[in-house]
Every structure is written in structure tokens, then in C-alpha cells.
Structure 1
């Protein structure tokens, strides 16, 4: 009788211990970024050029992991053709997020290797959205960030009208959270003006930085300050839309003046 009791007592004891085993750490939320050079990670040799996806991780607490898959020179078409999207889909877990921002290269008719017609651009965005949702993850669409072009009267030009409109239309039709970075970035640059807005871009005179001994005048790509300002625009807008990723996982609340325009020499980006 005692042997029989011991035989059943041992498994019950093991089950009891398992029941009181502390749970492992909660699974972290993955935020995937897919897009082009304005968002992508940069190598040391191109510093201070900085994609706005690089500082994005600093806005979130430690429960969020940012996986930046954006690549220089990619359009929606080439991102798919090079099989850069499928690994993201395969890795998606319920509760993850995908930020989707293209347009710069899709609209480049002078570059047939990357150009995507507006019709195909729309189809590709829909593919990203529907396949993200099929994995119980959340897509977020972002219009392309404006280029820094002002007219003679000092007004910022709209440089992505057709592809931004297509992005907005897909977001509306498929009820996807949208960040209109085209409009938000144009508003910021207009606030800064033609001259001061150079502080956000790769505007370097000869000798300013050893990576660019001849200087560089680039109205598309950002320096460190510009990348952070663009990330602030995106996060602040998503905060106003009450996206759970932002509402629940910010490292700390954004200050009301988080996206205020930089002024004076203090706004200059640092260099190593």
C-alpha cells in the first residue's frame, strides 16, 4: 500500500513543482521596418548619414525590439524581387508590427531597375498589408518623407504627390494606420525655412567631415539630427492616434515640444 502511495506521490510532487515554476520573461514585441534609404541603417563609412529608423529604438522601452530591414535604393518592386519581404513574413508573430515606407525609388522613372508604376506600387503595398495581417501582426503605412526643395519664394515643394496619394488611398481602403510623413516633414521644413532646414540633411562643406572630404549637398538623406527629428514626427503622430505599440511601450512620454524646430548653432549635428 505504501509503495503504491509513493508511486503516485512522486509524479504529483513533480507536477506541484512545475506549477510553482516562475514563468519566463515575456516575449518582446518585434517592430519590423521595411523601406528605402531614408529609413535604413547606415555603415560607418557613410556617417553622419543616418536613416530615421536608426534612432527609433531609443523611443521605446526594453520590451520592443526594432528590426530594421530597410535598404538603400529599394522600391516596393525590388524589395519583393530580392526576396527581402518573405523572411519578414515568415518571422512575424501575433502582436508584432511592420512599418512600411516606400515611394522615393518607386517614382524614379530615370532608374528603370527600381521604378514601379503607381498601379504596381499600390498592389505591392496591399500585399505587405494583407500578408502582415495574415500573421496577426499590425501594418502601419507611412508616406515617403519629403525632399528638401524650396521655390524662389521660400515655399517647400511637394515632391511625392502621386505616391503619397496612393499610400493614403490604400490606408483608407484597407483601414490601416497611416502616418503622413510627407505632409509632416514638409510642415517641419517649412517651419524651419530654406536655410535652417539644411541642419537636418547631409549638407557638408569641404573639410567638414573626413568621410566627405569634398563636401556633400544632399537634399534627401538625413544627418543624425534630421533622422531623430523624423523619428519624433512618426512617434508623435502615432501617439495621437493611440497606436498600442506607442501608447504602451514608450520609454517615456514625448514632451510637448519634442518636434520643435531646431534653432541656432546648438542644433548642429555632432560629428565624431
Structure 2
């Protein structure tokens, strides 16, 4: 008995020494992921740029092997995302650790070890949130962060480590990561956490807009970092698939599991992240996508569609009217600080000579503006001598039939070919090319005696410096205009030239979101560019309506 007591006392003393000295405990004793031994990959080829993933088990689960259950086990999206990149051009390095929060990824030392691998030109994606909601101080994990994105802090005596620690907000930790990534000459992208397998009273998958998803977006906006709303986009896809199909994206052996997907679910989330990368347009990442990655439509095509049933009406004053037709870059209505150029162009025209009526509406493409009957309402108001400015393209990309595209994608090109889009309600739609829809607008409006101007889309915030944005849509619009007797203005290049004249710092101040929608100042700038583009048209047909001195 004495020997047993001595052995027990010795074991307890050894355990105390391990904890006090910070040594790693055996797996049977140490259940705290922050102090577990984890082997993480290094970049395979240090000469290449790296995409480094940092997060929790929804990015890298356990040993990243499905827990020995193959595709049916638990997987993070960081494993299948490598399938969408050409690893001869980029390293995909999954440094996420299951069980950690933004706080414990830092305090465990994993962040310091990961940061040491980051070099100029790399990109780091950060996705935390699920474990940040845990208790701030307990004897099990002590991994929670303070709620929100402020600078609040709380000093605790950590019940798990026995150490005094200052705990900050979720947003504070993300901001620290972003700052230290940039100090290494790399870029940071913030990703909202994957959605839970939970449904609300309306049968929709729950969103995290009010907490970690919304806070992640807020930090990205504050820091002008890239943002991928994985939570919203994946939930949208879940809703489109339906509950039964979503259940198949999670491990069947643990039906109570609501967070961790199987390999099929991880692959869906990986596709959403790739779509977000495409939307952000980061050159080093987009340039390293393989054929499979390039086939995924950018996430911007999954933006919410603005509701709107009432069509704008031309004033009953007998004056000619300029009708504006387009998407949210032409009219956003101030939602979330977003303003379209069509909402700031009227002051450039003499109200005693011409009306300006904005029929644009957020979320529409050349296809849906026609199929929803909105074009028919414009035609009802058209009179000989009117003019129509038409700008589409932002919502026309993507794969026809993909639920995330919300039935908006049109076919590429200008030809007569069609693709059948079979809907979930059993109906089918023959979808035409972008050029077919634009040609329809031109023919209809010219038959009413109106002048038609096709405009290429305003450029993205992140594309105008690197490459010619919307090259395909501009070429198709120009071809349609030439063949149909309309006018064409390359608004993309006109705005790009304007952006270059004032510089990137000023341009960054023109946007209300990461890359697409302008704020009031940006809308005013783009409106001036539209007027400049109109003044450059052959014959200057809009000159007679412009106000002097504008």
C-alpha cells in the first residue's frame, strides 16, 4: 500500500511539473488542443508562393485523414481545396488546428510557427469563430474570446494553465493576425465560419450575420482586407439543396453532428472558398487555379437579389427621356452604403430638356431583367426620341443551373446557342448568350425609335490595376452594338483611366464593399465617367441635353 501511495504521489508530482513547465502531456491526460503535439505541413516548395490556411477543425480536422473513416469521416475544407490549384504554381499549406479559437491559435504558439513561414507574395486565409464562442475561462479548454470587434479586454487567472492572461475580442485577434501578415509582405483574407447544420423556423439554414460571420466581415472592411462570406454562401447552397441533401454532407455515423462535414460537405465548402477567391481576384491565387478551379464561378454571382416590383415611371411632361437599365452598380438605393452611378448622373442633364429615369435594380443580369418582365415595363414607356443606356455583366457570369447563381447566368458570347436550365420546381428555361439578350434590347428599343447605348460594366476595385476587367463582356457588347445599329461605350476602360489618374488610395475610398459596389463618392465619380463616355460617342447625341458647365 505504501508503494502504491508513493507511486501515486510521484505521478501527481510529475503531472504538476509538466503543467508548470509547459511540457506536453500524454494524450490520455492532455485533452487541451492548445497544448497537444500537432504536426503541421510546411510549404512543399519554398520557391513558390503559398496559400496558407489558418483556422479550426472545419478547415483541418484532426490528422486531416477523415479520422480513419475515409470520405464518411469528418473533414475540413482545407484538404479538398488543394484539388482546385496547380501545385506546380503555388503551395497550399493547411496549418489549421482542430479545437482552437483565434485566441488559442495565438497563445498556443501555432501562430508564431506559422507566421515564420509567411513570406512576401503569400496569401493567408483566416477562418475562426466556432470555438471563439466557448467559455473564456474554464478548466477544460479556456479558449473563448470576448464578443465583438472592439478593443475591450479582460484579465483572467486561467483555470486551465494557471497563468494570468489578458483576453481580447474576436476582432482584436483577427486584426493582429492581419497586421502581422502584412508586416511580412503577404496578404490576408478573412473568411466567415462555415454554417451549422441547423434550420430556423422558416426552414432556412441559420446564418451568423449577427455574430461571428458579421464580425468577420466588419474586421475585413475596417482593415480593407479580402473577405469571403463562406457562412452566407454555403448556407445559400444548403437552402438550394434542401434538408435531405444537406444531411448527406455530414457524417452519417454521428447524426447529431452539426458542425463538421464529411468529405462531400468539405468539398462543397472548398468550392465556395474558391468562388470567393475568384471574386476577390487576387492575382497570385487566380493565376494558380487549375482547370477545375477556373470552372467555378466567382462568388459575387451569389449576391442577394434586391426586391423591387414597382417600376420607375417617366414624368408626364412631354420631354424626351433617358432610361437607365442595369444592375446594382447602376442603382443600389443606399443599401449598406452602396450607391450606383445612375443615382448620381441626373444633375449632369438639363431637367428642362430631358428626363432621367433609372430602371436598374440590384442582382439582375441581362437574362433576368428580360425574363422578370422588367424590360417590358421599359418598352411600355419608350417614345421616339428617347435614349436607353444599358449596362450588364456583373451578374451574367457563372455556371447555368448552379443554384448559387440564382438563375441569373447567361451563356458566354453572342451566338444563337442555348442551354437548358432545369429548375427545382420541374420547369425548364432555355438560356441564351449574353449577346443574344443584349441584341434583343437593342432591336426592341430601336423599333420604338430610341437611341441605344451599350456600356461595358464598371470595373472591380481589385482588377483595374492588374488587368483589363470585363474583357469578354466588352467585346460582346461592342459586337452587338455594331451589328444592331446601337452605340457602344467602353465604360470599363473610361473608369479605369479615371482610377489611374487619382491613384489606388483614393479609389479604395470609393467602395462600400470589398470589390464591387461604390459608395456615394464612388458613384459620383463613375457618373462623371459615364458622361465623359457619352461625350465621346460618334455624333455626340447627348450633347444637346447636357447642362452647361457640367
TM-score tier, shorter chain, comes to 0.7 to 0.9
Q: 1:148-169: per-residue Cα shift (whole Å, max 9, x none)?
A: 1013432222246311121111
Q: CA deviation at 1:191?
A: 0.9
Root-mean-square deviation (CA, aligned residues, Å) is: 2.6
Equivalent residue for 1:69, pick from 95, 100, 121: 95
Deviation at 1:258, TM superposition (A): 9.8
Q: Distance in 2 between matches of 1:38 and 1:45?
A: 13
User: Contact (CA 8 Å) 2:51, 2:122: kept in 1 or not?
Assistant: yes
Q: Find out whether 1:103 has 2:129 as its counterpart.
A: yes
Contact 1:233 1:259 in 2 (8 A): no
The farther-off stretch of 234-243 and 173-182 is 234-243
Shift of 1:45: 3.0
Normalized against structure 1, the TM-score is what?
0.77
Query: Structure 2 CA distance, aligned partners of 1:27 and 1:158?
Result: 40
Q: Deviations over 1:219-264 (max 9, x none)?
A: 2111111111111111112212212133211011215449946xxx
Tell me: CA distance 1:235–1:258, structure 2 relative to 1, closer, same or farther (3 Å): farther
Aligned partner of 1:134 in structure 2 is: 183
Gaps of 5+ in 1: 1-24, 205-214, 262-272
Structure 1: 4+ residue segments shifted above 6 A: none
Q: Which residue of 2 aligns with 1:202?
A: 251
Contact 2:136 2:146 in 1 (8 A): no
List per-residue Cα deviations over 1:79-112 (Å, max 9, x = no partner).
0110000112122111111110000000124984
2:54 to 31, 34, 37: 34
Change (3 A) 1:182 1:111: farther
For the 8 Å contact 2:136–2:143, the answer to whether it is kept is no
User: Does 2:163 match 1:114?
Assistant: no
Q: Is the 8 A contact 1:31 1:98 kept in 2?
A: yes
Whether the 8 Å contact between 1:229 and 1:259 is mirrored in structure 2 is no
In the other structure, the counterpart of 1:16 is: none
Contact 2:174–2:219 (8 Å) recurs in 1: yes
> 2:202 aligned to 153, 166, 171, which one?
153
- Name the CA shift for 1:26/1:167 in 2 (closer, same or farther; >3 Å): closer
Q: Which residue of 1 aligns with 2:264?
A: 225
Larger Rg: 2
Q: 1:84 to 1:110 in 2, by over 3 A?
A: closer
- 8 Å CA contact 1:55–1:228 kept in 2: the answer is yes
The count of residues paired between Structure 1 and Structure 2 equals: 230
Gaps of 5+ in 2: 1-44, 151-168, 297-397, 404-550
Give TM-score scaled by structure 2 length.
0.39
Secondary structure of the residue aligned to 1:147 is coil
Q: Which residue of 1 aligns with 2:65?
A: 43
Q: Deviation string for 1:134-177 (max 9, x for gaps)?
A: 00011110011110101343222224631112111111111000
* 1:259–1:218 Cα change, 3 Å: farther
**8 Å Cα contact 1:98/1:140 also seen in 2:** yes
CA distance in 2, matches of 1:247, 1:124: 27
Question: 1:146–1:160: 8 Å Cα contact kept in structure 2?
Answer: no
Query: Does the residue aligned with 1:38 lie in a helix, a strand or coil?
Result: coil
Partner of 1:269: none
Choose between structure 1 and 2 for higher RCO, CA contacts under 8 A separated by at least 6 residues: 1
Once residues 189 and 176 of structure 1 are traced to their aligned partners in structure 2, the CA distance between those partners, rounded to angstroms, is: 27
- Residue matched to 1:246: 285
Residue among 149, 164, 187 paired with 2:213: 164
